[in-house]
Structure 1
Amino acid sequence: MRSILFSVLLACSGAPIAAPTILVYGDSLSAAYGIPQNAGWVALLGERLKQRKSNYTVVNASISGETSAGGATRIGAALAKAQPAIVIVELGANDGLRGLPIAQMKTNLAAIVQAAKRHGARVILVGMQVPPNYGAQYVNAFRAAFRDIARDERVPLVPFLLEGVPNQREMFQEDNLHLVAEAQPILMENVWRKLSAMVIAPPK
């Protein structure tokens, strides 16, 4: 009875209800490396949500240079701080660039996804690819790793974050790895295709 009364009083008090949070958990591709923060795809995602009258807010916990191992280490703290309803996992690119074992990357990414699910969050996994000079075996296994995790964990997959980005020099920064601001809307749209159904209520 007391708990019911407390709930009624809380509702009548006008106490603000926290907006649901989307946690973007990635590396430099999501951290707006080398460009203004408000030009990165994560910031653009926040703007899209506002345009669509969604009550979700975006928290960007991405760290440049992060690997799947680093992400697995800090996921608990990130979840506790953000209390997200949705987690977008964008990690693995640095594992690939360093030629790290794919099996270990899969273990780390699966652990991140599982931790988010245990926390009660829905998860979107974002896939990456490595250049062909890493060899066909590594390239194919790397791409398949994201499909395998998404299938096993039953979460939506963005097959490739950079899908649709023209392979033109002007789309990349001087390091030829990170994208310029002009490419960021493409990344946002790639993620939005999977996220939109989760955050936009259907018309009544």
Structure 2
Amino acid sequence: MDFSLQQNYLNRRHFIALAAVLASSGIYHRVAAAAAAQPERTTLLVLGDSLSAEYGLKRGTGWVALLEQKLQAEKIKAEVVNASISGDTSSGGRARLPALLAQHQPKLVVIELGSNDALRGLPLDMTRDNLLAMTRLAQQHGAKVLLLGMQVPPNYGRDYTQRFARMYVEVAKTTRSALVPFFLKGIADVPDSMAWFQADRIHPREEAHPRLLANVWPAIKKELQ
């Protein structure tokens, strides 16, 4: 017999013998059961703009980074993918989402978009359509969706301000997705609000990001459970 064939034959015999020993001792079944009992790791995708992309902050101090720490502290096996880009609009997020869903296959998608649409004066109907499309696409891929609602300052006019805030509620209701009504609650709607913002008066300071996490954590924890 050729030496290599003989060696392969012996290796197969040793493997079969080892498998038989493991099976008879019950070790194989215990290992298989332990592997099956391990919870599947969940991927959480954050699709946002500068509020989630740590604009003007030290790396690792934004609310998404704090979320990763919170998940570890709560012993929740979840990987966080932060796909946020400063300056992104709802149209940009809609264009990027299909590839992100295919690549990461998330179980939960957090959508934090729309503020830059308002800053650029884009039509509300377009923003609403984009949010609807992103939410439905994520759901079609088997993911839950959490929308982070935003509000605009009163100088935009009462009608526009109300319609903008209501837009998130309508999208969440239509798609039966989860909603945080106002992502910047406790930061932008308090008497000393400017103390929580950077010099541009748009982006929250590092000290504000624990509050942002506190606003979204109950909803995220509920959706992951």
What code does the residue aligned with 2:224 have?
V
Q: Does 2:84 correspond to 1:59?
A: no
2:156 to 131, 134, 153: 134
In structure 2, the partner of 1:118 is 140
Q: Does 2:197 correspond to 1:172?
A: yes
Q: Quick check: which has more Rg, 1 or 2?
A: 2
Query: Matched residue of 1:147: which SS?
Result: helix
Q: Distance in 2 between matches of 1:18 and 1:38?
A: 26
Structure 1 residue ranges without an equivalent (≥5):
1-7
Q: Does 2:46 correspond to 1:24?
A: yes
What is the TM-score normalised by the length of structure 1? Answer: 0.88
Q: Distance in 1 between matches of 2:120 and 2:218?
A: 29
> Does the 8 Å CA contact 1:87/1:116 hold for their aligned counterparts?
yes
Provide the aligned length of Structure 1 versus Structure 2.
192
Deviation track 1:35-70 (CA, whole Å, cap 9, x = no partner) reads 012110001011110000000111100000000011
> Does the 8 Å CA contact 1:21/1:56 hold for their aligned counterparts?
yes
Query: Matched residue of 2:137: which SS?
Result: helix
> Does the 8 Å CA contact 2:108/2:224 hold for their aligned counterparts?
no
Runs of 4+ in 1 over 3 A off after TM superposition: 14-18
- Please state which structure has a larger fraction of its residues in helix: 2
Query: Matched residue of 1:57: which SS?
Result: strand
For residue 18 of structure 1, report the CA deviation from its aligned partner. Answer: 6.2
> Does the 8 Å CA contact 2:41/2:78 hold for their aligned counterparts?
yes
What code does the residue aligned with 1:191 have?
V
Distance 1:137 1:75, change over 3 A: same
Q: Does 2:209 correspond to 1:192?
A: no
What code does the residue aligned with 2:75 have?
K
Structure 2 residue ranges without an equivalent (≥5):
1-28
Query: Matched residue of 1:28: which SS?
Result: coil
In structure 2, the partner of 1:3 is none
What is the TM-score normalised by the length of structure 2? Answer: 0.80
Query: Matched residue of 1:123: which SS?
Result: strand
RMSD of Structure 2 on Structure 1 (CA): 2.1
Identity %: 47
> Does the 8 Å CA contact 1:67/1:95 hold for their aligned counterparts?
yes
Deviation track 1:79-132 (CA, whole Å, cap 9, x = no partner) reads 112211100010001011112110110000100001100110011011001111
Question: Higher relative CO (CA 8 A, sep ≥ 6), structure 1 or 2?
Answer: 1
Query: Matched residue of 1:81: which SS?
Result: helix
Alignment of 1:3-152 (within 5 A): 19-152=41-174
